Amino acid sequence: MIVVLVGAPGSGKGTQAKPLSDQFGIAHLASGDLFRENIKNGTELGQLAQAYMDRGELVPDDVTIRMVLERMSRPDCAAGVILDGFPRTVAQAQALDAALSRAGKQVNVVPYIKVSDHELLRRLSGRWICRACGASYHLVSNPPKQAGTCDRDGGELYQRPDDTEDVALNRLKVYFQETTPALEYYQSHGLLVEINGEQGIDQVSHDLTEALKQGSRA
């Protein structure tokens, strides 16, 4: 089974991917992890990707797809994979479909954890981190007992630059510009399943589980 898990930053996609992977016995492949692994290990693909990144250019789709396919060829992916963070554009989706087709495979289901812009912004811009221990807090969902102070060790809380509201707003804008056409592509192929990401974590998990069960039977 090949699953493309989609969700904007702040949708909770990262929280859900690992438990789904464990539950269905399929590998969780996050595109960011693949890049880091290949670059760290100095693989041919990692060196190629690094060269583009050093020039401030986007890594070509064919390089990314080769990384994905190489990773999918390993034994732990025999039962299937959850692709997380890829594909994000129509071109990537089409190229992935073509590559999978040549291998006699196909995407089975594309669960989309849908969360409103307002809620995404609230989630993304409310995070604060302890400088001392790295504990994470959220001003709405998990606030510290004392503003600006870590509950664990009294360390100072700070906000990362990419957690500010302006940066979060831009991240979401770029994400949806890239990804909305890809969602429409998968919807046109009857693969997209919308999941209400504003429910409780357990209910989101339940709905994702049902979507994967249906996808495995398709």
Separation CA 22–CA 108 (nearest Å): 18
The CA-CA-CA angle for residues 186, 89, 167, to 5°, reads 120
Catalytic (active-site) positions: 13, 88, 127, 160, 171
CA distances from 140 to 124, 131, 145 (A): 11, 20, 12
Separation CA 114–CA 12 (nearest Å): 10
The CA-CA-CA angle for residues 181, 184, 188, to 5°, reads 140
User: Letter for the amino acid at 100?
Assistant: L
